[in-house]
Chain A
């Protein structure tokens, strides 16, 4: 491990800048890369080779698909329908919106999901005179839980899927059941801790009237915008095509990155949208951030730093697979609550690969531990996931201030609850196959 001190210092500084939001994430990561290039720690050619273009393609493709789907108005119409189905019952609002948010997050990015769902939830709860806070927090939390269910639901899964041979179906088969249990547990937690708040309203005519009146207002406000049925049909058709290609990945041999970008391009072509405008919806800073991080971690990997961390931190816990799995799960969970789970996952990928070389754990259980930990850990604090920050921001815009402590009051318990469920699941899984 010669000449490692400098890249480690650069990496730590970039991490600190990202964590404390001192500069833009992409700028921090790429500035770190530039420093390494200028000091000849890495050459331009090597740096480019460290970038995982499969992940970049998948992210870019999904961003284009989501931008066009949002334009179609489909999710807004769906959210309004759900609002109508709740009939103003506080419990139904919690249950139905949680299920929808979790399901949508599994296929779209979590921030997009909360951007669609949270305004309607706030409008509905605030309009009914309910306290919107628990509903907003629950939607942010459940979007992070739901996003864990598939390969495309959350960036840590996209990174894990791209860096390993795991398919879309592997994620569904191994993670969706435990995610479903966690969603139920989260709903149960909210209901059990404040049952009075979720009482039915069908014996109170004024409340029933207010709800009916409010639903008419919401329908008018959100669905009043005329939408193009052909555009909607094309968007949904392409989403279905992407899902089919994801699911049949083992047969078609088309990687998820290619599927996402291919479908994104088809959509741009057939919907005849303003391409320049649509490409502005792509989060280029996120893609540049990913590229920069891949290079930084690639350098550390090449210099042997990652191997050192794996051997001196994770492999120090012994060779008991149960202990290793639980260590990866809980360390990922706790660290992701405070640090961005994207750089953390990118750093952990080579570490997990090294652990698996020395202690083989069957059925990719260690990868599932990393995924569950990194995704669920985002719920630990208000700054643990982008969806949390966006939801709290939207609530503030509607005059509902949610403090850091208010968020953590329920999110910490739910994170512990979901990590305990994941521990039981992973240990049970390991026990069954050994």
Chain B
């Protein structure tokens, strides 16, 4: 595989993750894997190597897309048992395994949401920053199902990222207001919780989250606004933060006759110690550790 193909894939994962959040991106990636397997036209001897090339490329994404990597590792292990099958049977088998991975992952995410809903209480003023399917669904379900009376303050970051969140909150009639993240200090007196999601937690207890999250979390920490991190255990990585490559990205903002060239990053790394509550599908973990079963 050409290095440019890997670069393209890395960029796509970062951009998709920024817009959809980790959980939805994982599901979308697996669905796209299925669709591309259906479209693949290759000789019988090339099918299995192509699949391995693909799984290898996903495992090399930067930053590592931890939940997807775990699911792909499982997929590889299961498919290896069938690799001697004829091409069409192998294709069917691969698709079936991937469909099962999607179901498993969705079930896990649903459990995290179930655990998370109980963290919303009447009268809460909840700060939300990054795009997270789990956080969005927790807020929507707390309003829809539990009829909780709370208010959300969305800290605006990128328009595209914020748009998704606002649209979903508006659709579910969740009372909310949007403020730029740089005026967070003005609402810290009224807010009593910060809800965030994350891409992964590393072996050395660092959290890989959307760019800018450490600033928000630090400010909340100083002002004693408790931070709630919601994530599934697929996101616990065995790798240390030092190998979580977060590449630099150049962007241009054009205004009138002025082009502003900026260098940015898709994700940031923050200390897990700054986070008061970590909620997984198993409930709240006081001091999360990477389970030994996860190998990535």
Known A216-B28, A217-B19; judge A129-B8 contact (CB<8 A): yes
> Shortest beta-carbon distance, A411 to chain B, in Å?
24
User: 1/0 contact trace for A199-213 toward B, CB 8 Å?
Assistant: 000111111111111
Contact A221 B40, beta carbon cutoff 8 Å: no
> Shortest beta-carbon distance, B24 to chain A, in Å?
9
In the complex, chain A residues whose CB is within 8 Å of the CB of B32:
209, 212-213, 216
Chain A interface mostly: helix
Chain B interface mostly: helix
Closest chain A residue to B19, Cβ basis:
A220
B50's partner among A129, A205, A212 (CB-CB below 8 A) is: A205
Q: Does chain B have a CB within 8 A of A390?
A: no
Please provide the chain A residues from 113 to 157 with a CB less than 8 Å away from any CB of chain B in the complex. 127-129
> Shortest beta-carbon distance, B139 to chain A, in Å?
19
In the complex, chain B residues whose CB is within 8 Å of the CB of A221:
19, 160
Bound Cα distance A221, B20 (Å): 10
Q: Does chain A have a CB within 8 A of B150?
A: no
Contact A226 B16, beta carbon cutoff 8 Å: no
> Shortest beta-carbon distance, B5 to chain A, in Å?
5
Bound Cα distance A87, B28 (Å): 16
Contact A205 B12, beta carbon cutoff 8 Å: no
A203's partner among B11, B35, B41, B250 (CB-CB below 8 A) is: B41
User: 1/0 contact trace for A42-61 toward B, CB 8 Å?
Assistant: 00000000000000000000
In the complex, chain B residues whose CB is within 8 Å of the CB of A204:
50
A202's partner among B1, B15, B41, B51 (CB-CB below 8 A) is: B41
> Shortest beta-carbon distance, A225 to chain B, in Å?
8
Q: Does chain A have a CB within 8 A of B243?
A: no
> Shortest beta-carbon distance, B158 to chain A, in Å?
12
Bound Cα distance A268, B255 (Å): 30
Please provide the chain A residues from 179 to 210 with a CB less than 8 Å away from any CB of chain B in the complex. 202-210
> Shortest beta-carbon distance, B173 to chain A, in Å?
15
Known A205-B40, A205-B50, A209-B32; judge A220-B9 contact (CB<8 A): no
Known A205-B40, A397-B252; judge A217-B57 contact (CB<8 A): no
Contact A209 B36, beta carbon cutoff 8 Å: yes
Bound Cα distance A18, B16 (Å): 44
Bound Cα distance A206, B39 (Å): 12
> Shortest beta-carbon distance, A199 to chain B, in Å?
13
Known A212-B36, A213-B32; judge A129-B4 contact (CB<8 A): yes
In the complex, chain A residues whose CB is within 8 Å of the CB of B33:
209
Contact A206 B20, beta carbon cutoff 8 Å: no
Contact A205 B37, beta carbon cutoff 8 Å: yes
Contact A213 B50, beta carbon cutoff 8 Å: no
In the complex, chain B residues whose CB is within 8 Å of the CB of A226:
167
Contact B5 A129, beta carbon cutoff 8 Å: yes
> Shortest beta-carbon distance, B264 to chain A, in Å?
13
In the complex, chain A residues whose CB is within 8 Å of the CB of B15:
217
Contact B20 A220, beta carbon cutoff 8 Å: yes
User: 1/0 contact trace for B8-49 toward A, CB 8 Å?
Assistant: 110111011001100000001101110111011110001000
Interface size class of A (residues with CB under 8 A): 20 to 34
Bound Cα distance A224, B41 (Å): 32
Contact B8 A399, beta carbon cutoff 8 Å: no
Q: Does chain A have a CB within 8 A of B54?
A: yes
User: 1/0 contact trace for A66-87 toward B, CB 8 Å?
Assistant: 0000000000000000000001
> Shortest beta-carbon distance, B171 to chain A, in Å?
9
Contact A210 B50, beta carbon cutoff 8 Å: no
In the complex, chain B residues whose CB is within 8 Å of the CB of A217:
12, 15-16, 19
Q: Does chain A have a CB within 8 A of B53?
A: yes
Contact A213 B53, beta carbon cutoff 8 Å: no
Bound Cα distance A226, B166 (Å): 12
Closest chain A residue to B12, Cβ basis:
A213
Closest chain A residue to B160, Cβ basis:
A221
Q: Does chain A have a CB within 8 A of B218?
A: no
> Shortest beta-carbon distance, B76 to chain A, in Å?
14
Q: Does chain B have a CB within 8 A of A30?
A: no
> Shortest beta-carbon distance, B72 to chain A, in Å?
12
Bound Cα distance A128, B53 (Å): 17
Please provide the chain A residues from 214 to 242 with a CB less than 8 Å away from any CB of chain B in the complex. 214, 216-217, 220-221, 224, 226
Q: Does chain A have a CB within 8 A of B87?
A: no
Closest chain B residue to A129, Cβ basis:
B8
Contact A206 B252, beta carbon cutoff 8 Å: no
> Shortest beta-carbon distance, A220 to chain B, in Å?
6
Please provide the chain B residues from 170 to 184 with a CB less than 8 Å away from any CB of chain A in the complex. none
Closest chain B residue to A397, Cβ basis:
B254
User: 1/0 contact trace for B140-178 toward A, CB 8 Å?
Assistant: 000000000000000000001001100100000000000
A206's partner among B41, B46, B57, B167 (CB-CB below 8 A) is: B57
> Shortest beta-carbon distance, B191 to chain A, in Å?
28
Among B32, B41, B42, B254, the one with the most A-chain Cβ atoms within 10 Å of its Cβ is: B32
Q: Does chain A have a CB within 8 A of B88?
A: no
Closest chain B residue to A203, Cβ basis:
B42
Among A129, A211, A221, A399, the one with the most B-chain Cβ atoms within 10 Å of its Cβ is: A129
In the complex, chain A residues whose CB is within 8 Å of the CB of B40:
202-203, 205, 208
Contact A128 B51, beta carbon cutoff 8 Å: no
User: 1/0 contact trace for A349-376 toward B, CB 8 Å?
Assistant: 0000000000000000000000000000
Bound Cα distance A226, B53 (Å): 38
Q: Does chain A have a CB within 8 A of B78?
A: no
> Shortest beta-carbon distance, B207 to chain A, in Å?
25
Bound Cα distance A10, B254 (Å): 36
Bound Cα distance A27, B157 (Å): 41
Bound Cα distance A210, B2 (Å): 13
Contact B9 A205, beta carbon cutoff 8 Å: no
User: What are 8 A-to-B residue pairs whose CB atoms are below 8 Å?
Assistant: A129-B7, A203-B42, A205-B53, A209-B32, A209-B57, A213-B9, A214-B12, A397-B254
With A209-B36, A221-B19, A397-B252 already in contact, 8 other A-B pairs whose C-beta atoms are closer than 8 Å: A129-B5, A202-B40, A206-B1, A206-B53, A212-B32, A216-B28, A224-B164, A397-B254
Binding site for A on B (CB under 8 A): 1, 4-5, 7-9, 11-13, 15-16, 19-20, 28-29, 31-33, 35-37, 39-42, 46, 50-51, 53-54, 57, 160, 163-164, 167, 250, 252, 254
Binding site for B on A (CB under 8 A): 87, 127-129, 202-214, 216-217, 220-221, 224, 226, 397, 399
**Closest CB pairs A-B (n = 5):** A208-B36, A212-B32, A129-B8, A205-B50, A209-B36
